[in-house]
Structure 1
Amino acid sequence: MSYNKMLISVDGSGYSEQVLEAGMEIAKDLDSRIYVAYVIHPGSSLLSNPDSWSPSRRVLEEMGKNAFRKAMVIAKEKGLSCETKMLEGYPADKIIDFAERKNVDMIVIGSRGQQSTKKFLLGGVAEKVIRNSKKPVYVVR
């Protein structure tokens, strides 16, 4: 199987840079086209639960833009080009849907993310993507 197109999923956490580095190194070795996706979860704003603190949509969008800037820097360092896409919805669903629509050959995702305290062994989003994607999934630990 050839890996002409890859999707690298980032969540804006500090760990995302490691995911980007690993995914882009694989893409470079395989001469793959890269998509970098960031998903804004609809339940991640103050409006969804005013009793608990969570980042506003504007903060989440800025986190995504920062992740995209890092992706562009890493891609340039490796001599790659990449397309970025900010999505909105349930992260695992949106990652799988985007991978299907773009007909990517592999999804690269981190084993943990912003909510790593909720899932110790494998992040909830990563686990759902692995279980439900028809595409191969490379998990960065």
Structure 2
Amino acid sequence: MSKILIPIDDSPSALRALAYLVKKIQTGRENAELHLVNVQFPLHGGVSTFIDAAQIRQIHQEDAVKALAGARSVLDEAGIPYQTHVFVGEPAEVLARFANEQGVDEIVMGRRGQNQISTMLLGSVSLKLLNLAKAPVLLVK
């Protein structure tokens, strides 16, 4: 059984990648342990002056639940088991660290994420992940 990481950020692209993987599993071409991973961006700009750490954790958790809801629904409906993980940090670095530490066999992700402005300014999460992760990265259009 292969261990597959699927980054989920509530973007249509992430859900297309998940749909691709579900189809492979349902046709018997893939037998996998799925790990849905959502990475929340840290809050900056002195936010901690106005909001305490517990409230910040709560905000991240609520945002992660919303981001993962569509993917969870797809997998629940298909009867495919999965695990969810939520982290805070720079997405490519967090995803690569998780993949490397967990020994995932493959990362399946959408080509474009939720934050297209940051992609234009800072570079693509998928491109960074290609360079940081030891596992193969499959980008789904």
Q: 2:32 maps to what in 1?
A: 32
Give every structure 1 segment of 4 or more consecutive aligned residues whose post-TM-superposition deviation is greater than 6 Å. none
TM-score, normalization: structure 1?
A: 0.77
Change in 2 beyond 3 A, CA 1:57/1:16: farther
Report how far residue 39 of structure 1 moved: 0.3
- The answer to whether the Cα contact below 8 Å between 1:39 and 1:90 also exists between their aligned partners in 2 is yes
* 1:53 paired residue number: none
Indicate conservation of the 8 Å contact 1:11/1:38, yes or no. yes
SS of residue paired to 2:116: coil
Structure (1 or 2) with the greater helix fraction? 2
Counterpart amino acid of residue 128 in structure 1: K
Gaps of 5+ in 2: 49-55
Cα deviation for residue 41 of structure 1 reads: 1.5
How far, CA to CA, are the matches of 2:100 and 2:36 in structure 1?
14
* CA-CA distance at 1:27 after TM superposition: 4.3
Residue of structure 2 equivalent to 1:10: 8
CA distance in structure 1 between the partners assigned to 2:60 and 2:124 by the alignment: 19
Counterpart for residue 67 of structure 1: 67
The total of aligned residue pairs comes to 131
